Amino acid sequence: MKQLSNRQILLGITGGIAAYKSAELVRRLKDHGANVRVVMTAAAMEFITPLTLQALSGNPVHTTLLDPEAEAGMGHIELARWADLILVAPASADFMARLANGRGDDLLTTLCLATPARIALAPAMNQGMWRDAATQDNAELLRQRGIALFGPAAGEQACGDVGPGRMMEAEQLAELAATLFEGRALDGVQLCITAGPTREAIDPVRYISNHSSGKMGYALAEAAADAGAQVTLISGPTQLACPARVQRIDVVSAEDMYQASMAQMGSCQVFIACAAVADYRPAKAEEQKIKKSRDTMHIELIRNPDIVSAVAGHPQRPYTVGFAAETQDVLRYARDKLQRKNLDMIVANDVSDSRIGFNSDDNTVTVIDANGEQRIEQMGKRQLARQLIANIATRWSQRD
Ligand code: C5P
């Protein structure tokens, strides 16, 4: 497999003579299998034309932040989410200074602020500018924030000086970009997550549902995608935006969610059941709106399929993780569910406490599996999701 197969790389080009090498870089990234989109600053266009980069990348080049036509195509937030990596090459001293200061005064800096993806810079400038204390401080600050710096290389410069500040060669940059995707805990693993509530129709305007916001499942989807997994999120109705690099399948009822989950069996390697699935549905959803006439009414409810049990019982069973949201005797019920549903791991949380659980941003859970029990103290759902994904990745790597 090519090193950058299916990776989505947003190549930022800033103003510097090394911008002529960016054309070659687009070729090299594509040779390694990447999909490339190019963003140019105004200064970059003084050195190389957007037309050249459009022809090489096969995609329109993005140049301005406030262009209604470009925004109607792929808006800047969409572009920021599209990227698996933003590689800025060449990165000028001015661009690094603006990035270090959190500026969003052009399209490229705005994208860097908005993106959940990794950012890498290939600095290129005169050796005196590179050695300057301000540039060195900016470089250090950017490194501390997790931005990768590729180079600069040393040698003869376009201005005649000799020293550090040359942009690295295109092939080297493409290879360094590939290393950023290596060694991630769930690289290439097909992972499926159910999230949110389900809605069970009573009639065309009414339904039975619950308070699940979907936040935990969405945070898990984001964390799993960051760990390199190919994530399918099967989601009931929520108000949440789909995380970057996650494929979402929208469903409404438990039956829809069951069907969508079963369709993933065979390809899915890890299944995380985070949805708050309605246990029962009306035996018959009325075709017309029910009129109020009697003082009492009865709706007959029938059991919904248990999705996670069906997944765990499937012949091509994935590593299966369930959640147990309980209001009392949390651990006892969770242990029982782990066994009864034949799960590999269960995440137990106490939803009687309003500071955690449904709709809140925080959560405290206990992870139970064959290796024992581990309590994870109250932390933001996103941070908790990263911790849980790390636990799942460890168990996954230890599988037989
Ligand atoms: O049985 P209980 O609803 O408490 O189990 C919770 C776990 O089972 C969660 O992981 C939930 O997503 C899953 N579940 C399911 N299908 C159902 C009910 C629950 O997948 N019908």
The full set of domains in the chain, from first to last, is 2-179 (3.40.50.1950), 190-397 (3.40.50.10300)
DSSP secondary structure letters along 194-250 = EESB--EEEETTEEE-----SHHHHHHHHHHHHTT-EEEEEE-S-SPPPPTTEEEEE
281 lines ligand 1 (CB under 6 A): no
Q: Which distant-in-sequence residues (6+ apart) come within 8 Å of 261 by Cβ?
A: 192, 194, 234, 271, 307, 310, 311
- Rounded-to-integer distance, Cα 29 and Cα 32, Å: 5
- Rounded-to-integer distance, Cα 144 and Cα 148, Å: 9
Whether the predicted pLDDT of 109 surpasses 80: yes
324 Cα nearest atom in ligand 1: 6
- Rounded-to-integer distance, Cα 379 and Cα 269, Å: 28
| β-sheet bridge partners, residue 36 | 9
305 Cα nearest atom in ligand 1: 21
What value does the mean pLDDT take over residues 369-379? 84
Please provide the average confidence, as pLDDT, over all residues in the chain.
91
The reported pLDDT for the residue numbered 385 is 87
Give the mutation target among 209, 307, 338, 388 for probing the ligand 1 site: most ligand atoms within 8 A of CB.
307
**Tokens (6 digits) for 230:** 């190919």
pTM, two decimals, is 0.65
| pLDDT tier, 40 (very low <50, low <70, confident <90, very high otherwise) | very high
Whether the predicted pLDDT of 205 surpasses 90: yes
What value does the mean pLDDT take over residues 318-325? 96
Note whether 180 and 204 are within 8 A (CB): no
Q: For residue 319, report the distance from its CA to the centre of ligand 1, in Å.
A: 16
The reported pLDDT for the residue numbered 35 is 94
Q: Which of 3-17, 114-128, 172-186 comes out lowest in average pLDDT?
A: 172-186
311 lines ligand 1 (CB under 6 A): no
DSSP alpha helix (H) spans, 86-214: 93-100, 107-114, 127-131, 133-144, 170-179
Q: Whose CA is nearest to atom 17 of ligand 1?
A: 306
What value does the mean pLDDT take over residues 70-95? 89
Q: Whose CA is nearest to atom 21 of ligand 1?
A: 306
The reported pLDDT for the residue numbered 42 is 96
Note whether 358 and 325 are within 8 A (CB): yes
Q: Widest CA span of the chain, in angstroms?
A: 92
The reported pLDDT for the residue numbered 359 is 61
What value does the mean pLDDT take over residues 119-127? 95
Whether the predicted pLDDT of 5 surpasses 90: no
Q: Whose CA is nearest to atom 9 of ligand 1?
A: 323
Whether the predicted pLDDT of 88 surpasses 90: yes
What value does the mean pLDDT take over residues 279-304? 94
Measured between its terminal Cα atoms, the distance across the chain in Å is: 25
Q: Which of 22-31, 76-85, 205-214 comes out lowest in average pLDDT?
A: 76-85
Q: For residue 246, report the distance from its CA to the centre of ligand 1, in Å.
A: 22
The sign of the dihedral angle between the CA atoms of 207, 209, 214, 217 is: negative
What value does the mean pLDDT take over residues 366-373? 92
Calculate the dihedral angle through the C-alpha atoms of 329, 238, 260, 339, rounding to the nearest 10 degrees: -10
Whether the predicted pLDDT of 185 surpasses 90: no
324 lines ligand 1 (CB under 6 A): yes
Greater confidence, 269 or 384?
Answer: 269
344 lines ligand 1 (CB under 6 A): no
Note whether 82 and 37 are within 8 A (CB): yes
Q: Is 159 a catalytic residue?
A: yes
Note whether 180 and 343 are within 8 A (CB): no
343 Cα nearest atom in ligand 1: 10
- Rounded-to-integer distance, Cα 60 and Cα 374, Å: 50
308 lines ligand 1 (CB under 6 A): yes
Whether the predicted pLDDT of 400 surpasses 70: no
Per residue in 329-355, pLDDT (tens digit) is 999 999 999 999 999 999 998 887 766
The reported pLDDT for the residue numbered 357 is 56
- Rounded-to-integer distance, Cα 195 and Cα 67, Å: 36
277 lines ligand 1 (CB under 6 A): yes
The reported pLDDT for the residue numbered 313 is 97
Q: For residue 277, report the distance from its CA to the centre of ligand 1, in Å.
A: 6
Q: Of 257, 263, 273, which is closest to residue 316 (Cα–Cα)?
A: 263
Greater confidence, 7 or 261?
Answer: 261
Q: At what angle do helices 170-179 and 20-31 cross, to 10 degrees?
A: 50
227 lines ligand 1 (CB under 6 A): no
* Annotated catalytic residue within 112, 159, 192, 242: 159
307 lines ligand 1 (CB under 6 A): yes
Percent of the chain residues past pLDDT 70, beyond the cut: 97
